[in-house]
Structure 1
Amino acid sequence: MSSTPQLVSSGSDADQRYAKFDERKRKRMESNRESAKRSRMKKQQRLEELSSETTQLQNQNSICRDKIESVERNYCAIDADNNVLRAQLAELTERLNSLNSLTQFWADTTGFPVDIPEIPDTLLEPWQLPCPIQPITASDMFQF
Structure 2
Amino acid sequence: MISNRESAKRSRMRRQKHLDDLTGQITHLRYENNQILTNMSIVTHLYMNVESENSVLRAQMSELNHRLQALIDIINSMNSIGDGFEGDFDDYDHMISGNYNDDFLYHWSLTHVSQPIMASPDVFMC
Relative to the length of structure 2, the TM-score reads 0.68
List runs of 5+ in structure 2 lacking aligned partners: 92-126
Q: RMSD in angstroms over aligned alpha carbons?
A: 1.3
Distance 1:115 1:55 in 2: 72
Greater C-alpha Rg = 1
Picking from 71, 88, 100, the partner of 1:117 is 88
Give secondary structure in 2 for the equivalent of 1:38: helix
Q: Given the alignment of the two structures, is residue 90 of structure 1 paired with residue 69 of structure 2, yes or no?
A: yes
Give secondary structure in 2 for the equivalent of 1:115: coil
Q: Which residue of 1 aligns with 2:10?
A: 31
Distance 2:45 2:74 in 1: 44
Q: Which residue of 1 aligns with 2:29?
A: 50
List runs of 5+ in structure 1 lacking aligned partners: 1-21, 108-113, 121-144
Distance 1:55 1:42 in 2: 20
Task: Flag the structure with more relative contact order, 1 or 2, with Cα contacts below 8 A and sequence separation at least 6.
Answer: 2
Distance 2:87 2:67 in 1: 22
Distance 1:59 1:35 in 2: 36
